[in-house]
Amino acid sequence: MKLLVIAGPPSAGKTALTKQIVKNFQSQLRIAYLKIDVVKAYEDIELKKEFSILTRKVYSGDLCPDHASVMVLGDVIDWAEENKADLLIVESAGLCLRCSPYLNQGLGVVVLSSISGIHTPEKMGAMVSLADVAVVTKIDLVSQAEREVFIQKISEIHPSGIVMETNALQGTSLHRLYNLIVNSEDITPDQLMLKGSPPIGTCTICVGKKEIGWKNHFGVVKRLDGPIADYLYRGE
Amino acid sequence: MIQEITILPGRDRNGQAEKFDAITMRAGETISIVGPTGSGKTALITDIELLAQGDTSTGRYLLLNGQVPDEEMRYNPTKKPIAMITQNTKCFTDLSTVDFLTIHARARGISDPSIVRRTIDLANTFTGEMIHPEVKVTVLSGGQTRSLLIADAILIGAAPIILLDEIENAGIFKQEVVRLIQSTGKIVLFVTHDPVIALLTKHRIIMSNGSVQKVIAQNELELRAAQNLLELDQRVGDIREKLRAGHMITHVQLA
Ligand SMILES: Nc1ncnc2c1ncn2[C@@H]1O[C@H](COP(=O)(O)OP(=O)(O)OP(=O)(O)O)[C@@H](O)[C@H]1O
Ligand SMILES: Nc1nc2c(ncn2[C@@H]2O[C@H](COP(=O)(O)OP(=O)(O)O)[C@@H](O)[C@H]2O)c(=O)[nH]1
Ligand SMILES: [Mg+2]
Ligand SMILES: [Mg+2]
């Protein structure tokens, strides 16, 4: 089974891109799709209705969605393999930019909208720099010069990545991505690892304590203007 | 060097094959693309810009010098032989005009720093109100944005093929722009609803229902008739400039 992890901020065009990929491969590959989101997602229903593929969704609720994805991905791979899928597509929630959901196997794709602002790729950290491929969407809405400036920025942040551009509503110029998917190696599920490093430790904010201010929290915490050496773990 | 570019037929909006065999355009030629709104003019030049290989909604293929272009040509802006001015008159990039052009020059592999200054100067010959180098591209007016992007396509895009989508719509000095672009020896395609621009080109592609209906070459008769329209347009242009400057129009000027 091949694995494709799609990440990117909300409304970047992840689902629009997924639909083009499904449309292109549905006659050759059996496709399974997982959507991870926090409170609400409709993609699984939409994709099932439009293409009759296997779909699942997971709500992370109070848990960080990237954390949730690490936990459930094992189960989802089992589910996809039991259902004899050839390609598993995972669409991440794309919220917090601390982590990236890419794995050491399969293909990691970051989706960026060309109207999202020139500094966005820089702000997205590991979500951009650890991706195998960056797909720039909504090129129908901007000038060629602006597209090239945006792509230049991405290449400067992530020189070894492959950057491509598309109008995701029409699926233009995606043959190159399809070739990368077809040529990606099948995964070996018991050797899957996160590419990036997850945050360390737990803290009182992550478990839901709402009070504002230093005195109410412990865990791995840092003062707003404290030097790095002031990183500390408060508590047991 | 790009000597010629060839469009191979795709399908119209109903999935019917287009009726031409191949359209080949050579260096120094200017072509206009006309047809009703929604007839697929923008889609056609977008196919050219993307050097489509059956992977757009029209299913067309593009050849450069009779060959399938290599991947580098399609995906690497420093190798891309095509510059395009789209219908957009808005920039989203939160950068000053100087920074925007500097990064674009870098993307196109140009190291001469004077290119930025020259591009702004050229843009300012197309537009009424000057573009200041430090102003953010997000706050430029529609006409200023168009002027900047046209100058950028000519000097920084500096490509042997230039595609322009409805340049008339921004109140810029269009005859100047058209003649300047025509004098560069490039392959130039104008998508247009403006009879003046259509008549300034030697060839016309007629579009409808998402497909190419006809390709027409301008004959001597039309060329002579066109001269009258160009003069008329020049006069309309003069009147527009007077109105813009706050003058009253007299009978004599309209006669
Ligand atoms: N051959 C085709 N097959 C399928 N869809 C097409 C085809 N040609 C054009 N379209 C689609 O039709 C729509 C309208 O086309 P387009 O924007 O190119 O029109 P236009 O002639 O540029 O109109 P305007 O003069 O209003 O700018 C677009 O969504 C385009 O992608
Ligand atoms: N014009 C245009 N709209 C797009 C493109 N890609 C996505 N959209 C639109 O952008 C919105 C968000 O896209 P979606 O795929 O749901 O984003 P997601 O949140 O990343 O999954 C939708 O309304 C899409 O129709 C594109 O390439 N061009
Ligand atoms: Mg989505
Ligand atoms: Mg158009």
**Do B138 and B94 contact (CB within 8 A), yes or no?**
yes
pTM of the shown model: 0.85
**Do B198 and B216 contact (CB within 8 A), yes or no?**
no
Residues of B with Cβ-Cβ distance to A148 under 8 angstroms: 77, 104, 107-108
- CA B11 to ligand 1: nearest atom: 1
CB-based contacts of A183, cutoff 8 Å, min separation 6: none
pLDDT at A219: 62
- Residue A109 is encoded by which pair of tokens? 């794709």
Q: What is the mean pLDDT of chain B?
A: 90
Intervals of chain B under pLDDT 70: 170-172, 254-255
Inform me whether the C-beta atom of residue A153 falls under 8 Å from chain B C-beta atoms. yes
**Do B75 and A177 contact (CB within 8 A), yes or no?**
no
Q: Is the pLDDT of residue A153 over 80?
A: yes
Inform me whether the C-beta atom of residue A23 falls under 8 Å from chain B C-beta atoms. no
pLDDT at B9: 97
DSSP 8-state symbol, B60: -
**Do B84 and A144 contact (CB within 8 A), yes or no?**
yes
CB-based contacts of B87, cutoff 8 Å, min separation 6: B42, B165, B166, B169
Chain B interface, mutation test: which of A21, A113, A149, most B Cβ atoms within 10 Å?
A: A149
Chain B interface, mutation test: which of A143, A147, A153, most B Cβ atoms within 10 Å?
A: A143
Closest C-alpha among B172, B6, B165 to residue B86: B165
Mutate to test the pocket of ligand 1, among B18, B34, B39, B190 (most ligand atoms within 8 A of CB): B39
pLDDT at B79: 83
Centroid of ligand 3 to alpha carbon of A10 (angstroms): 7
pLDDT at B171: 65
Closest C-alpha among A178, A36, A121 to residue B55: A178
DSSP 8-state symbol, A178: H
Helix B97-107 / helix A144-157 crossing angle, nearest 10 deg: 70
Inform me whether the C-beta atom of residue B95 falls under 8 Å from chain A C-beta atoms. yes
The CA distances from residue A34 to A194, A199, B151, B183, in Å, are 17, 23, 46, 55
Q: How far apart are CA A196 and CA A105, in angstroms?
A: 13
- Residue A155 is encoded by which pair of tokens? 């290449």
Q: What is the mean pLDDT of chain A?
A: 87
Inform me whether the C-beta atom of residue A138 falls under 8 Å from chain B C-beta atoms. no
pLDDT at B167: 82
What ipTM goes with this model? 0.82
Q: Is the pLDDT of residue A202 over 80?
A: no
Centroid of ligand 3 to alpha carbon of A154 (angstroms): 22
C-alpha A6, offset from chain centre: 4
- Residue A174 is encoded by which pair of tokens? 């995606």
| Closest-CA distance of chain B to residue A20, Å | 11
State the pairing for strand pair B4-8/B23-26: antiparallel
If DSSP codes are grouped into helix, strand and coil, which group holds residue A136? strand
Closest C-alpha among A127, A139, A107, A129 to residue A21: A107
Residues of B with Cβ-Cβ distance to A164 under 8 angstroms: 75
H-assigned helices in B50-96: 71-75
Q: What is the pLDDT of residues B44-79, one digit of tens each?
A: 999 999 999 999 999 999 999 999 999 888 888 778
Q: Is the pLDDT of residue A224 over 60?
A: no
Closest C-alpha among A110, A103, A198, A113 to residue A147: A113
* Max CA separation in chain B (angstroms): 60
**Do B107 and B152 contact (CB within 8 A), yes or no?**
no
Q: What is the pLDDT of residues A94-147, one digit of tens each?
A: 777 778 889 999 999 999 999 998 999 999 989 999 999 999 999 999 999 999
H-assigned helices in B129-219: 142-152, 174-182, 195-199
pLDDT at B240: 84
- Residue A142 is encoded by which pair of tokens? 């901007």
State the pairing for strand pair B23-26/B161-165: unpaired
Every domain of chain A and the residues it spans: 2-191, 200-236
pLDDT at A85: 97
C-alpha A58, offset from chain centre: 14
Query: What residues sit around ligand 4, an ion, with C-beta below 5 angstroms?
Result: B 42
| Closest-CA distance of chain A to residue B225, Å | 35
pLDDT at B200: 87
Closest C-alpha among B58, B61, B57, B59 to residue B7: B61
**Do B212 and B32 contact (CB within 8 A), yes or no?**
no
Task: Determine the CATH number of domain A2-191.
Answer: 3.40.50.300
What do you get for the CA distance between the two ends of chain B, in Å?
Answer: 49
Which residue(s) pair with B33 in the sheet? B191, B205
Chain B interface, mutation test: which of A20, A24, A133, A148, most B Cβ atoms within 10 Å?
A: A148
